[in-house]
Amino acid sequence: MLENALKMIKENNFCVLSTSRDNRPNSSLMQYVSSETGAEIYMLTMKGSTKYGNILNNPHVSLLVDTRAEAPGENRDIKALTAYGRAGIVTDKYEEEMLKERLVKLNPGLSVISESPESCVVRVEVESFLLLEGVNESIYGKI
């Protein structure tokens, strides 16, 4: 099932990123790109945002990726993947620029954010996952 989870990450570009600080959760709809393996996920955010501060304070995050756009009206066929991992800010300027280019190429609407000097790239290293297929089949795994 690890292959199915990583495939799902690679084939999508929207997720819900959940962070927390002082036991207060925060969730944000995000566009992303993944590494070739799917074990790393990259997103843009702004320095000073709630998620940025949360990640600096507590790197443990979860992401939700699902297939509801692929199966409108067919709720029984929806798959949902919760990926658990550690987030950090990409600090290497060359790597950051390359990732920004990839993010904007796949998600052109992100160009407004990527051009800001306050933008930065978040990297999530996926450590484990929970894959739900339909309403009653769940599989937990580690990367």
For the chain, the domains span 2-142
Q: What is the pLDDT of residues 91-107, one digit of tens each?
A: 999 999 999 999 999 99
CATH class of 2-142: mainly beta
Cβ pair 18, 26 in contact under 8 A: yes
Does this model's pTM top 0.85? My answer is yes
When pLDDT is cut at 50, 70 and 90, the band that residue 137 belongs to is confident
The pLDDT score that the predictor gives to residue 30 is 98
Q: What are phi and psi of 26, to 5 degrees?
A: -145, 130
